[in-house]
Structures are given as C-alpha cells and as structure tokens.
C-alpha cells in the first residue's frame, strides 16, 4: 500500500479548513421583499368643463306629428347653441337619449292610446364656463322645454388631473418608505405603477324649465346666472416596490 505524501494530506486539510471557515463566516445575504401600497388622495380642483343636458318634449295625437315637431325643435336647439360666438372651439353637442312613447287613458275597461310623447335629450359640453348661462338661454329660446341638470367636471387631459395623480403617487411612496424603514430596509426600485383612476365627485345643479320659461319676454335682457364651485377630486395610484432588508 502506497503512502500518501504528507504535502497532499496537509493541502487537503487546509482546503477543508478553508471551506469550513467560508461556511461559518459567510457574509449575510440581503433579502429582497416586494410590498404593494396604494396612494389615495382627495383634493379640490376648479372645473374646466360644464355638461348641460337639455330635453325637447313634444306631444301629439299622432306619433308622426309628435316626432316631426320634436325633430324640428331639436334641430333648432342644436343650431342655436352652435351659432353662439364662442361655440367653435369651446362647445360640443350630441344626442344623449331619444324616446317615443304612447300616452294612454286608463279610465275605461281597456287602456286606450290618446296621444304620443317624444323626448329628445341633448348633452352640451361647454369649455368656457362664463358662457353657461348664454347656452341655457339660447337653448330654451329655441325650444328646449326641460333643463335636466348641469354637472361640472375636470377634463382627463387637464394638467390639474396630473397634479392630483402626483399627489397620490407621493402619498403611496411615503407609505412604502415608512414600511421599508420599519423593516430596517430601504427601497431599491419601483417594480410597478398602476393608476387606480381619478374620480370627480360632480356638482349637480338643476333648473326648473317652467320658472325659466315663464315671462320670457320680460326677462329676455337677462342671462341665466350659473356659478361653478370647486370639485372634490379623488385619485388613486398603486405602487409595487422592492425593499432590501
């Protein structure tokens, strides 16, 4: 049996001891943890658009007659609104709803159709808030006999929307930093960002068409006053970050 050289034995022992030392004194590896936080902020913003809904309601003994009368008045309303001096770049008109329904008399044994009612709702988006009253006046004078409401909104492409999202993002990041600090760690990178959305809590104002149309000849020199207030706007941002501990 051959003898193992002393040098080889010593070298082997040295390697074993070195490996054991590396295992015992190996450096602590930092752990990476992912956390998800949501930034939710609410702020007040000035609206930049008003959405007014008008309705033209006509009645007649025949469906065709009520429909034709409604079409004539509806076109007059749209034309009157679009003819305003500022309308070219600051206004948008579109049909919101259309309904033709019979009016029935239930006094007898069997319901009897006695006429027809046609309702055409038109939505007008106004970018110049100082002209809301002028739009209402023009539409009602042209034949709109119902103003169903006004809502004030902030456009999606408005810089104010970006400011609201930035506020929610800062809040989410502050939450993530607080969590990282509580874990004795630090944020190493943002993995994912999701916009939870921006929601307007709209201000709705309603007007009575009867009071607006009464004595129209005596108040024709006046413009319907409408004042927009600040909106409560809520924004959400979801962040996924990696924390090194």
Model pLDDT for residues 99-148, shown as the tens digit of each residue = 999 999 888 888 889 999 999 999 999 999 888 999 999 999 999 998 88
pLDDT bin (cut points 50, 70, 90) of residue 17 is low
Can you give the pLDDT at residue 78?
93
Can you give the pLDDT at residue 23?
57
The total number of residues shown for the chain amounts to 245
Return the closest-CA partner of residue 57 out of 129, 120, 142, 141: 120
Can you give the pLDDT at residue 232?
81
Q: What is the mean pLDDT of residues 144-165?
A: 83
pLDDT bin (cut points 50, 70, 90) of residue 31 is confident
46-55 pLDDT, tens digit per residue, is: 888 999 999 9
Can you give the pLDDT at residue 226?
81
pLDDT bin (cut points 50, 70, 90) of residue 28 is low
- Mean pLDDT score of the chain, rounded to an integer? 81
177-226 pLDDT, tens digit per residue, is: 999 999 888 888 888 888 866 666 544 444 444 434 433 444 455 677 88
pLDDT bin (cut points 50, 70, 90) of residue 6 is low
Q: What is the mean pLDDT of residues 48-76?
A: 94
Can you give the pLDDT at residue 212?
41
Can you give the pLDDT at residue 117?
95
Can you give the pLDDT at residue 208?
42
Domains and CATH numbers, the chain: 30-47+155-201+229-245 (3.30.110.170), 49-153 (3.30.70.2970)
* Angle, vertex CA 141, rays to CA 140 and CA 145, nearest 5: 35
pLDDT bin (cut points 50, 70, 90) of residue 22 is low
Can you give the pLDDT at residue 67?
94
* Better-scored residue on pLDDT, 195 or 11: 195
Q: What is the mean pLDDT of residues 63-85?
A: 93
* Better-scored residue on pLDDT, 27 or 98: 98
């Amino acid at each position: 049996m051959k003898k193992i050289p002393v040098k080889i034995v010593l070298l082997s022992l040295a390697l074993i001891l070195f490996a054991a030392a590396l295992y015992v004194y190996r450096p602590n590896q930092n752990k990476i943890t992912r956390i998800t936080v949501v930034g939710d902020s609410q702020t007040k913003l000035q609206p930049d658009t008003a959405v007014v809904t008008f309705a033209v309601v006509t009645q007649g003994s025949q469906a065709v007659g009520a429909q034709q009368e409604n079409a004539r008045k509806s076109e007059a309303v749209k034309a009157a609104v679009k003819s305003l001096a500022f309308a070219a770049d600051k206004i948008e008109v579109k049909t919101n709803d259309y309904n033709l329904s019979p009016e029935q008399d239930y006094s007898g044994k069997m319901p009897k159709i006695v006429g027809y009612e046609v309702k055409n709702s038109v939505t007008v988006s106004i970018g110049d808030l100082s002209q809301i009253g002028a739009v209402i006046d023009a539409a009602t004078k042209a034949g709109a006999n119902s103003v169903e409401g006004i809502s004030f909104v902030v456009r999606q492409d408005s810089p104010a929307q970006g400011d609201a999202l930035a506020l929610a993002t800062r809040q989410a990041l502050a939450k993530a930093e607080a969590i990282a600090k509580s874990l004795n760690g630090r944020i190493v990178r943002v993995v994912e960002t999701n916009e939870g959305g921006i929601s307007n809590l709209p201000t709705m104002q309603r007007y009575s068409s009867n009071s607006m149309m009464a004595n129209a000849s005596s108040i024709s020199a006046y413009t319907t006053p409408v004042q927009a207030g600040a909106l409560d706007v809520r924004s959400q941002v979801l962040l996924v970050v990696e924390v090194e501990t």
